[in-house]
Amino acid sequence: MLEHLRAQRVLEEGRSGMLTKSKKRAEQAFEIPLLPAIVVGSAMCCLFYFVILLPPFRHPLVIRYAFCHWVAIASAWLFATAAVYLVQKLWVLGRQRRMVHALELVLDEWVEHRAEWDIEPVMDGYRRATSLQALWKLQKDHIAKSWYGKRLGHLLVRQVERRSTVRLDEDLESFADRDAEALHSSYAMVRIHCWAMPMLGFLGTVIGISDTLGQMDAQALASGSKEAMNGLTSGLYVAFDTTAVGLVLTMIAMFMQFFVQRAEQDFLGRIDQGAASAMHRCLSDQEHSDTRDVEASLKLVANRLIDSMQVLVQQQAHLWRESIGQAQSEWSSMSARATDSSLGTIQRALAGTLAEHRDSMRECLSQLSVLQTEGAQQIDGRLQQWQTTLSEQSRLALRQQQEVSRNAELLQKLLDSTQLVQAMQQPIQATLERMTEFDRFQEAALSLTEAVMVLSTQLERSGHISRQAVRRRQARSSDPQADGISADGVIAGGIFEDGISHGSPMGLEADGASDAVVLKLDSPTIRKAG
C-alpha cells in the first residue's frame, strides 16, 4: 500500500512537472514581446503630438486636452503602448489563421496514414503516436511553431511520454485550459494600462486642485479681480480634463482589448476543436463497439463547449459593459464629491483669508491716515521754508540785477572814454612829433649860437671886430617866439651885429642906438643849420 502511494505521488509530481513545462511553453507561445510595443508606442505618441502641432491639424480642443497636464501625456503614452500591443497581437492572430489551412492538410495526411495503420492489428496507440511524432518532426518550422502546431506537438509528446493514449481526453482538456489561461495572462500588460490610465487621470485632478489652491492669491480674490477668478477656474478645469482624458482612453483601450481577446478566444476554440478531432481520428482505438457513441459524445461536448464559450463571451461583454458603466458612474460621483469638497475647502479658506485681509486693511487705512496727516504737515512746513527761501533769493537777484545794471553803465562810460582816448591819440601823436622836431631845431639853434659866439670871440681876439657895450634888452615878451628864433630868421639875446660883410652868407650889423648886438643870419643858413 505504501509503495502504491509512493508510485502515485511520483507520477503526480512528474505530471505536475510536465504541466509546468508545457505551461511555460504555452505562455511563450501566446506572449508578445513588450519592447517593440513600447518603442513603437512611444514613437506613435511623439508623432501624434508632432502632428497635432502642425497648422493643418492644429485644433484648440485637441491642444487643450492633449497638453492640459503631463499626466495627460503619460496617459496618452500608456494608451499608445497598449494599442500597439493589441495591434501586434491582432497581426500575429492573422498570421496564425493563415497557417490553419496548411495544418489541416497535414491532419488529412495523418488520417490517411491511420487508414493504412488499421490494416495491421498490432499497431496500438503508442506506436501510432510515435509514428505521428516522427512525421511531425519533418514539418516546416513556421508550421511547427504556430499555435495550432505547438498544440499538436505537445499532445504527441505527452502521448509518447505516457506510452499510451488512454488519457487523451484529459490531455486535450488540460492543454485547452492551459492555453486559455496563457491567453488570459498575455493581456496582463493591457489590463495594467487600463487600470493605470484612470488612476493617472484622477492623480492629475488631485495635482491640479492642489496646485490651484497653492497658487491662489487671497488678496486678489478678496479684491474681486477677474484675473484671479479666471486663474482659479482655469486650474480647476485643467484638473478635471486629465480625468476625462484618462477615462476616454481607458474605454477605447478596453473595447479594443475586448474585440482582440474575443477574436483570439474564437481562434483558440477552433484550435481546441481541430486538435481534439485530429487526435481522436489518428490515435483513438476503433476496435471498441462504442466508438461512435464516443464520437457523438465528443461532438456533443464540443458543441456544448462552443455554446458555453459563446455564453461566457456574452456574459463577459455584459460584465464589461456593466463594469464600464459602474466605473463611469463612480468616477462621475467621485468627481462631483471631489469638486464639492474642493469648493467647500476653497470657500472656507477664502472666508478666513478675507476676514484677515479686512482687518489688515483697516489697520493699514488707519496707519495711512496718520501718515497722510503727518505728511501734509511736513509738506506745509517745507512749503513755507521754500517760500521764505524764494523771497530771499528774489531780493538777492534784484540786488544783483541792480549791481549788474550799474556795472553796465560804468562799462558804457569806460567804453566812451576809450573811444575818446582813441580819437585823441592821433592829434597827440602829431603834437608829440612836432614837439620832437622843435626840440631838435632848438638844439641846432643852441649849437649855432655857441658857434657864433666862439666865432665872434675869435674875431674879436684877432682884431677884426671891436667890442661894444651891449645894452640890456627889455623885458621878455609873453610871446614864446621872443626868446627864440623870429619869423625872418633873427636870433636875439647876446648876439653882435656888424655892418661888415665878409662875403659869407651871413652878415653882422651893429646898432649904435641900442645896447643889443643883433646877428642876422640868412634864412637858408639857418635852415641848413637846423
Do 75 and 245 contact (CB within 8 A), yes or no?
Answer: yes
Burial bucket for residue 108 (CB in 10 Å: 0-12, 13-18, 19+): exposed
Report which DSSP code applies to 139.
Answer: S
80, pLDDT greater than 70: yes
- Residue 54, phi-psi category: left (phi > 0), alpha (psi -120 to 50), beta (remainder): beta
Tell me if 223 is assigned to some domain: yes
Predicted confidence (pLDDT) per residue in 153-173, tens digit: 777 777 777 776 667 777 778
Confidence at residue 475, expressed as pLDDT on a 0 to 100 scale: 44
Per the CB < 8 A criterion, the answer to whether 205 and 242 are in contact is yes
Per-residue pLDDT reduced to its tens digit, 201-210? 888 777 777 7
- In whole angstroms, what separates CA 264 from the centre of its chain? 50
Question: What does the block give as the cell for 50?
Answer: 508632432
Give the chain's mean pLDDT.
72
- Rounded Cα distance, 183 and 309, in Å: 14
Cite the beta strand spans of 94-246 per DSSP E. none
Asked whether the predicted pLDDT for residue 415 surpasses 80, the reply is yes
How many domains are there within the chain? 2
**pLDDT attached to residue 217:** 58
Residue 269 Cα distances to 73, 206, 410, angstroms: 39, 45, 132
Instruction: Find the domain containing 494 and state its range.
Output: 465-471+479-529
Residue 515 lies in a domain: yes
For residue 434, the model assigns a pLDDT of: 80
Q: What is the pLDDT of residue 395?
A: 86
pLDDT for res 514: 37
Selected residue with higher pLDDT from 459 and 278? 459
Q: What percent of the chain has pLDDT over 90?
A: 0
- What average pLDDT score do residues 477-498 get? 39
Do the domain assignments include residue 48? yes
Mean pLDDT of 162-187: 79
CA distance 225 to 235: 16
Q: Which residues touch 239 (CB under 8 Å, ≥6 apart)?
A: 69, 204, 205, 206, 207, 208, 209, 211, 212
Take residue 152 and report the three cell numbers written for it.
499538436
- As a whole number, mean pLDDT of residues 109-137 equals 62
Q: Are 215 and 236 in contact (CB under 8 A)?
A: no
Q: Are 471 and 516 within 8 A, CB to CB?
A: yes
* 415 domain-assigned: no
Distance between CA atoms of residues 401 and 434, nearest Å: 49
* Ranges 26-40, 123-137, 206-220, 514-528: which has the least confidence: 514-528
- For range 453-466, the mean pLDDT: 78
Q: All 3 cell numbers of residue 404?
A: 549788474
- The C-alpha cell of 80 is what? 499608445
Residue 122 has pLDDT above 50, yes or no: no
Tell me: pLDDT of 308 over 80: yes
318-344 average pLDDT score: 84
Instruction: For residue 506, name the pLDDT band (cuts at 50, 70, 90).
Output: very low
Question: For 491, phi and psi rounded to 5 degrees?
Answer: -110, 125
- Extract the C-alpha cell encoding 459: 674875431
DSSP string, 471-507: PPPPPPPSSGGGSSB-TTSEE-SS----S---SSS-E
Split at pLDDT 50, 70, 90, the class of 495 is very low
Show Cβ contacts of residue 125 under 8 Å, excluding neighbours closer than 6 positions.
Answer: 159, 164, 165, 166, 168, 283, 284, 285
What is the pLDDT at residue 29?
60
Taking a C-beta distance cutoff of 8 angstroms, is the pair 177, 211 a contact?
Answer: no
CA dist 284 and 189 (Å) reads 40
Query: Could you say which of 256, 287, 318 is where a domain stops?
Result: 287
CA-based Rg of the chain, rounded to a whole angstrom?
72
Residues in CB range of 345: below 8 A, 6 or more apart:
213
- Claim: this prediction has a pTM higher than 0.85: no
C-alpha cell at 176: 485547452
CA dist., res. 42 & res. 100, Å (int): 34
Q: Look at residues 254, 287, 320 and tell me which one is the last residue of a structural domain.
A: 287
* Beta-carbon count within 10 A of 442 CB: 13
| Residue 360, all three cell numbers | 489688515
DSSP three-state, residue 507: strand
β-strand pairing of 490-491 with 518-520: antiparallel
Contact 312, 158 (CB under 8 A): no
Backbone angles phi, psi at 463, to 5 degrees: 95, 10
Question: Given pLDDT bands bounded at 50, 70 and 90, which one contains residue 296?
Answer: low
Q: pLDDT tens-digit profile of 361-404?
A: 888 888 888 888 888 888 888 888 888 888 888 888 888 888 88
pLDDT tens, residue by residue, 211-260: 776 666 555 555 555 665 666 666 666 667 788 888 888 888 889 889 98
On whether residue 277 sits in a domain, the answer given is yes
**Residue 357 pLDDT class (50, 70, 90 cuts):** confident
Instruction: Using CB atoms within 10 Å of the CB of residue 268, give its burial: 0 to 12 exposed, 13 to 18 middle, 19+ buried.
Output: buried
The pLDDT value recorded for residue 496 is: 37
* Closest alpha carbon to 485 in 438, 431, 435: 438
Give the residue from 233, 262, 287 where a domain finishes: 287
H or E, element range at 491? strand 490-491
Of 116-130, 358-372, 443-457, the range with the lowest mean pLDDT is 116-130
Q: Report the alpha-carbon distance of residue 96 to residue 142 in Å, rounded.
A: 10
At residue 259, what are phi and psi to the nearest 5 degrees?
Answer: -70, -40
Question: Is residue 207 included in any domain, yes or no?
Answer: yes
Task: Tell me how far apart the alpha carbons of residues 487 and 422 are, in angstroms, rounded to a whole number.
Answer: 35
> Rounded to the nearest 5°, which phi and psi values hold at 475?
-60, 145
The answer to whether residue 307 is domain-embedded is: no
Tell me, yes or no, whether 394 lies in a domain. Answer: no
Q: Quote the distance between the C-alpha of residue 2 and its chain's center.
A: 82
Q: Which helix (H) or strand (E) holds 293?
A: helix 291-462
pLDDT, one tens digit per residue, over 434-445 is 888 888 888 888
Strand partners, 508: 519
